[in-house]
Amino acid sequence: MISLLLILLISGSYCVGDERVRFAAVLFRHGDRTPVDSYPTDPWRNESMWPVKFGELTNIGKQQHYALGQWLRKRYSHLLSTRMYPPVGSSVWNTDLLWQPMPVHTVPEKEDEILSMKKPCPAYNQEYKKVTSSKAYKERLMKYQKLMDYLTAYTGTKVKDYYDIDNIYSVLNIENLYNFTLPVFTTETSSPVLARLKVGPFIKQVMSKMRDAMEENVQSVHEKHPKVLIYSAHDLNIGSVLNALGVFDNKCPVYTATVFFELIHDNTTSEHYIRISYRNSTEIVEPHVLSIPYCGKLCPVDRFVQLYDNLVKYGVHESSAIGDTDSDSEQIS
Ligand X SMILES: *[C@@H]1O[C@H](CO)[C@@H](O)[C@H](O)[C@H]1NC(C)=O
Contacting positions for ligand X (CB under 6 A): 19-20, 46, 48, 177-179, 249, 251, 267, 278, 280, 288
Cβ distance to ligand X smaller for residue 43 or 101: 43
To the nearest whole angstrom, how small is the minimum distance from the Cβ of residue 285 to ligand X?
Answer: 10
In eight-state DSSP terms, residue 183 is: -
d(CA 160, CA 162): 7
To the nearest whole angstrom, how small is the minimum distance from the Cβ of residue 1 to ligand X?
Answer: 22
Cβ distance to ligand X smaller for residue 3 or 256: 256
176: Cβ–Cβ under 8 A, 6 or more apart, which residues?
A: 182, 184
The phi, psi pair for 162, rounded to 5°, reads: -60, -40
Cβ distance to ligand X smaller for residue 286 or 309: 286
Question: ∠ at Cα 73 (69, 74), nearest 5°?
Answer: 120
The phi, psi pair for 183, rounded to 5°, reads: -70, 150
The phi, psi pair for 103, rounded to 5°, reads: -75, 130
To the nearest whole angstrom, how small is the minimum distance from the Cβ of residue 5 to ligand X?
Answer: 25
135: Cβ–Cβ under 8 A, 6 or more apart, which residues?
A: none
Burial of 215 (0-12, 13-18, 19+ CB in 10 A): exposed
To the nearest whole angstrom, how small is the minimum distance from the Cβ of residue 121 to ligand X?
Answer: 30
Cβ distance to ligand X smaller for residue 125 or 155: 155
To the nearest whole angstrom, how small is the minimum distance from the Cβ of residue 246 to ligand X?
Answer: 13
Cβ distance to ligand X smaller for residue 144 or 278: 278
Cβ distance to ligand X smaller for residue 48 or 133: 48
Question: ∠ at Cα 26 (22, 31), nearest 5°?
Answer: 150
To the nearest whole angstrom, how small is the minimum distance from the Cβ of residue 79 to ligand X?
Answer: 15
